[in-house]
Amino acid sequence: MEFRIKGLNPAHAVMTQSIDAVDEADARRQFAMQGLRIISVAPVGRRRPFKRGSKLPVVIFSQELVALLDAGLSLVESIEALTEKESNVALRRPLERILSRLYEGQTLATALTEHPQTFPALYVSTVRASERTGALRESLTRYIAYQQQIDALRNTLVNASIYPAVLLGAGLLVTMFLLGYVVPRFSSIYEELGSNLPLASRLLLEWGQLIETHTLAVVATFAAALAGAGYALSRPATRAAIGAWLAGLPTIGEQLRIYQLARMYRTVGMLLRGGMPAVTAMQMSSGLLGESLRPRFLLAIQSVREGQSLANALDAHGLTTPVATRMLRVGERSGNMGDMTERIAAFYDESLSRWIAIFTRLIEPLMMTVIGLLIGAIVMLMYFPIFQLADSIQ
């Protein structure tokens, strides 16, 4: 939010200055740091949100910060260097605000909490835990590796879905072209043969006549249906219902469960390696699970809080696999649960990547077959009367 402050400079001259601050107290603090006496403070408008694409990239920021810390710079000097080299005003502003908090003696985690849209809660908690152990560089390195692994898995899923999505879109466009342009023209040709056509051909041609007669109404209905579907998909309840339906499918549901468990184990492992208690790490990771797994995970957290081992608690509530359970028990015996949970996540990632590769190889020819049969059926129904007429002439 922007504040307009009226005050007195050291020469006792009245001056007015605009300051971008979180709240009025922050504006007063910034103004006082300049050695000025405040007369009045008034908000003049809300701070404009960062434009799309101008959000500070957390991973790149962390990589550069780690590089500067490795070079021997202090934390304040590193933030100063990152602020000075940033030419984008939208990206420079949060760095300046973080730097001002460090000048005031606040911790880095406290400064980061003022920017929740840029720095997620997991990142702030990682930094806060590292401040207690004095291992900021190591914690940031772990977070960078964690985020890169999450992005790699997400990219694998996206890349695997691109070709099927393009194939499905092309098939739908061809089908719509046939039904919306070609079929109406055939319907006018076969109109006089109406009762002599097969039932399927008559229904197809009647659809063509409907398109030709009420084109605007059909287009408006189709657009309204698309808009309604888009709105429904934007609702959390609809997405939750779709997720619950997918989770109920035999094979796909199990792989979705593995995907959620992999993210949960990786996050718990990163937090445990950063020195965070097991219950706190689990609580922070609960948001990564879907509605079907989250209640069971909360029960597992309660069991751990009551003294039950992590492996037994997760196994009792169906949040492990046989391999993961054995690895967790080994981690408990060795006292190295952080590394072990990250290894479990890596094992899940490899299993999921193999399944995606197999599923993609199967779904692509299956979709091509279904789309080819659909388009072929439409073409055959359009040309069937011609074949029938040729047989009658012979």
pLDDT digit string (tens) for 203-220? Answer: 777 777 777 777 788 788
CATH of 146-394 given 1.20.272.10, 3.50.50.60, 1.20.81.30, 3.40.50.2300: 1.20.81.30
- Looking at residue 8, its pLDDT comes to 64
In sequence order, the 6+-apart residues with CB closer than 8 A to the CB of 163 are 360, 364
Over the stretch 78-107, which tens digit does the pLDDT of each residue have? 888 888 888 888 788 888 888 888 888 888
CA–CA distances in Å: residue 175 to residues 178, 200, 209, 365, 375: 5, 16, 16, 18, 6
Q: Please give the order of strands across the beta sheet that includes 14-20.
A: 14-20, 2-8, 37-45
pTM: 0.59
Comparing 58-145 with 146-394, is the CATH topology the same? yes
- Looking at residue 129, its pLDDT comes to 75
Task: Please state, rounded to an integer, the average pLDDT across all residues of the chain.
Answer: 78
Q: Model confidence at 268, in pLDDT bands (50, 70, 90)?
A: confident
- Looking at residue 389, its pLDDT comes to 60
Q: Model confidence at 11, in pLDDT bands (50, 70, 90)?
A: low
- Looking at residue 1, its pLDDT comes to 59
pLDDT at 112 over 60: yes
d(C-alpha 86, C-alpha 93), whole Å? 9
CATH of 58-145 given 1.10.4160.10, 3.30.565.10, 1.10.3720.10, 1.20.81.30: 1.20.81.30
d(C-alpha 183, C-alpha 177), whole Å? 9
pLDDT at 394 over 60: no
pLDDT at 171 over 50: yes
Over the stretch 70-85, which tens digit does the pLDDT of each residue have? 888 888 888 888 888 8
- Looking at residue 47, its pLDDT comes to 42
Q: For residue 192, with 0-12 CB atoms within 10 Å meaning exposed, 13-18 middle and 19 or more buried, which class applies?
A: exposed
- Looking at residue 48, its pLDDT comes to 41
| Tokens standing for residue 37 | 């006496």
Phi, psi of 72 (to 5 degrees): 105, 0
Q: Which CATH code for domain 2-45?
A: 3.10.20
Q: List alpha helices for the chain, DSSP H.
A: 24-33, 58-70, 75-85, 89-103, 108-112, 121-133, 136-177, 183-189, 199-213, 215-234, 236-247, 250-273, 278-285, 294-305, 310-316, 322-334, 337-393
Over the stretch 234-267, which tens digit does the pLDDT of each residue have? 777 777 777 777 777 778 888 888 888 888 888 8
Domain boundaries defined on the chain: 2-45, 58-145, 146-394
Over the stretch 131-166, which tens digit does the pLDDT of each residue have? 776 778 888 888 888 788 778 777 877 777 787 788
